[in-house]
């Protein structure tokens, strides 16, 4: 299924070759989205709604308070089911009942440090939850394309300076990263064993550390910075030298949308794993981000290094996005400075009581204005 090493398999679809999200494609499509109450899922749901897709969501309640899901009134434009992907029957009933044509699987326990506290729960959600999702997809009659969202951390991290390519070994040091490597292997096995015969194009998307307005998760850099600077406190940083592939949340979300279009139109070429990382020079150390965020916020924002013993976290992690560029035509739109500025503006808007549903739609248009079409 398009897994030829070293060869370029260009997806011959005009809109996809241009790497653009195509609103005409999405208008009226029935989409089943897990994790719609989360940070990335809420942005995905808003974008799909904006293009006229019929969206059904399945997830636990929003994982934070406040949450983008509530602040941007995401539920208003979709059918939202609160449920647990560890419950195979509930997930199957919701998915089969929604009669989706496209399935996007984003629900997960997504935090490294939480995975040290609850490895069993992390594997149950991220691995068996993915198995349950793919079992339900097998039983639904109309699904043509399915994307399992994993992470850059799914790769066996060699702590080297080069970006990881799609065909490199899965691994993962900590339970979160490893659970996502396992979810990749599950996806690959289901693709070969069941999906090809059923005409379902199954792919996975591996993104970097996403940042953007509306993320209130604990133990994530940008929310931690914003919480501290807004309270007038020093930002406490654990790993200032750790390098991550930072990207605005709409970058991988656009990648998943472009990939789904490709899966629909060229299943044989597109049903594989894809990296959706940032430009190479946006893989920056934590310290670089903190200093720019503090400068953008102003008002004497400052940070200090917490050098107490911390659980292991990878130092170097980069994604090679050559394949998505060459074969899907997808590429990052915003550089890191644009992304950081947009986050500070988003957060200030929220603090000042702006209608954040409208603000998020405008944010989508600002992003689309850089080359992606969004329906009026």
Ligand X SMILES: NC(=O)c1ccc[n+]([C@@H]2O[C@H](COP(=O)([O-])OP(=O)(O)OC[C@H]3O[C@@H](n4cnc5c(N)ncnc54)[C@H](O)[C@@H]3O)[C@@H](O)[C@H]2O)c1
Closer of 20 and 34 to ligand X (Cβ): 34
- Could you say whether residue 207 binds ligand X (CB under 6 A)? yes
Buried b (16+ CB within 10 A) or exposed e, 191-205: beeebbeeebbbbbb
**Are 208 and 40 within 8 A, CB to CB?**
no
Q: Which stretch binds ligand X (CB under 6 A): 78-86, 228-236, 274-282, 357-365?
A: 78-86
Q: Which stretch binds ligand X (CB under 6 A): 187-195, 203-211, 342-350, 361-369?
A: 203-211
Q: How far is the CB of 283 from ligand X (least distance, A)?
A: 14
Closer of 151 and 261 to ligand X (Cβ): 151
- Could you say whether residue 37 binds ligand X (CB under 6 A)? yes
Q: How far is the CB of 199 from ligand X (least distance, A)?
A: 25
- Could you say whether residue 41 binds ligand X (CB under 6 A)? yes
Closer of 11 and 149 to ligand X (Cβ): 149
- Could you say whether residue 49 binds ligand X (CB under 6 A)? no
DSSP state of 146: E
Q: Which stretch binds ligand X (CB under 6 A): 209-217, 226-234, 335-343, 346-354?
A: 209-217
Please tell me the distance from the alpha carbon of residue 237 to that of residue 225, in angstroms, as a whole number.
9
Which tokens sit at 10? 């260009």
Buried b (16+ CB within 10 A) or exposed e, 231-244: eeeebebbbbebbb
Q: For the chain, what's the residue count?
A: 376
- Could you say whether residue 59 binds ligand X (CB under 6 A)? yes
Please tell me the distance from the alpha carbon of residue 146 to that of residue 139, in angstroms, as a whole number.
13
E strand or H helix that includes residue 312? none
Residues that bind ligand X (CB under 6 A): 35, 37-41, 59-60, 63, 84-86, 106-110, 125, 129, 149, 151, 207, 209-210, 217
């Amino acid at each position: 299924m398009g897994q030829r090493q070293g060869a370029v398999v260009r997806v011959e679809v005009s809109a996809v070759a241009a790497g653009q999200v195509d609103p005409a494609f999405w208008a009226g499509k029935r989409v089943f989205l897990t994790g719609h109450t989360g940070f990335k899922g809420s942005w995905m749901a808003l974008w799909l709604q904006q293009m006229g897709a019929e969206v059904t969501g399945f997830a636990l309640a929003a994982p934070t308070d406040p949450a983008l899901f509530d602040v941007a009134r995401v539920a208003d434009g979709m059918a939202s089911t609160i449920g647990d992907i560890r419950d195979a029957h509930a997930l199957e009933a919701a998915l089969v009942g929604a009669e989706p044509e496209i399935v996007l699987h984003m629900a997960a326990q997504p935090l490294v440090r939480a995975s040290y506290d609850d490895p069993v729960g992390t594997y149950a959600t991220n691995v068996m939850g993915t198995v349950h999702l793919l079992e339900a997809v097998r039983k639904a009659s109309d699904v043509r394309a399915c994307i399992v969202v994993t992470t850059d951390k799914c790769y066996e991290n060699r702590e080297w300076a080069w970006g990881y390519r799609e065909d490199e070994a899965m691994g993962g040091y900590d339970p979160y990263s490893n659970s996502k490597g396992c979810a990749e292997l599950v996806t690959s096995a289901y693709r070969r064993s069941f999906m090809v015969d059923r005409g379902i194009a199954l792919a996975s998307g591996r993104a970097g550390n996403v940042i953007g307005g509306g993320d209130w998760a604990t133990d994530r850099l940008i929310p931690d910075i914003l919480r501290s600077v807004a309270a007038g406190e020093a930002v406490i940083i654990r790993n200032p030298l750790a390098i991550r592939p930072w990207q605005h949340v709409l970058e991988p979300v656009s990648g998943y949308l472009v990939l789904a279009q490709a899966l629909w139109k060229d299943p044989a070429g597109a049903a594989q794993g894809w990296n959706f990382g940032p430009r190479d020079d946006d893989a920056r150390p934590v310290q670089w981000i903190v200093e720019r965020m503090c400068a953008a916020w102003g008002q004497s924002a400052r940070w200090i290094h917490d050098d107490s013993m911390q659980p292991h976290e990878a130092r170097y992690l980069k994604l090679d996005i050559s394949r998505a560029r060459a074969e899907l035509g997808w590429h990052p739109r915003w550089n890191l400075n644009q992304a950081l500025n947009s986050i500070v503006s988003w957060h200030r808007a929220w603090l000042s009581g702006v209608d954040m549903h409208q603000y998020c739609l405008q944010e989508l248009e600002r992003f689309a204005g850089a080359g992606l079409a969004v329906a009026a």
